[in-house]
Amino acid sequence: MRILVVGASKGLGKALVEGLGQAGDTLIGVSRTRPEALPAAVRWIEADLGQPRQAAAAIHEAVAGEGLDVLVYNVGIWEERAFEDGYSFLDDDDGQIERMVATNLTAPLLLIKRLLPVLLNSARPRIILTGSTSALPGSGRPEVTFGASKFGLRGIAETLREGFRGQGLGVSCLNLGYLNTEDGLDVPLAQAEQRGEGSLIPLHDVVQVCRMMLSLSAASYVRDITLPALRDERF
């Protein structure tokens, strides 16, 4: 498989680049800046998803010739004071709201539009969108723009499924709760799961879920998965 991971320089994206794929697969990472320590088996594309048109064009040009089987869109930015007790929508900067919508919604729309003709040449084309539990009813979160953009991401998944079901495209939305982004895959899972005392999801678990999704046959796909932390009382 040829797997493209967008937003791959750190945190979950870095873990996905390191943890997905098997012998013979090609992993391609995308980020605004190229990481210093780049695995030898990983290709890299420098693109800023905050500039959606330019990024979509650059990524398409880099992958179109050799084809693509899987797109993992893992980019998402949030408000400056998101997830803090003092958050208020009325205090959000207008420019920041525009950047969030551009990165979280406009960028995946334009990128998917560019890459779909390439993906649909695959025998088993797949798109994985990393959403958030903030986009689920009853999430209990007040962050307006972040929540709205993640609701929109689920809308992208819903409509893509219907528009391209006949061409074998499987689109999955992974609704993630609070992540432990401090411990990478190099940290043993038994240690990583201790951080937050059950309130944070180890990156290992997200990678394992994505591996499962990509291991399925062309006859099935995962529609949605909600992955909250065990002690997240919202779910």
Q: What's residue 40's pLDDT?
A: 65
Asked if 57 and 112 count as a contact pair (C-beta separation under 8 A), the reply is: no
Predicted TM-score (pTM) of the model is 0.93
CA distances from 68 to 72, 92, 112, 216 (A): 11, 38, 12, 17
Q: Which domains does the chain have, with CATH numbers?
A: 2-227 (3.40.50.720)
| E strands, 7-163, in order | 26-31, 42-46, 70-73, 126-132
Q: Which residues contact 92 (CB under 8 A, 6 or more apart)?
A: 79, 80, 144, 145
CA distances from 137 to 123, 148, 169, 184, 199 (A): 35, 12, 26, 30, 20
Give pLDDT tens digits along the chain (235 positions).
999 999 988 899 999 999 998 888 999 999 888 777 666 678 999 999 989 999 999 999 999 999 999 999 998 888 888 888 889 999 999 999 999 999 999 999 999 999 999 999 999 999 999 999 998 988 889 999 999 999 999 999 999 999 999 999 999 999 999 999 999 999 999 999 999 988 999 999 999 999 999 999 999 999 999 999 999 888 8
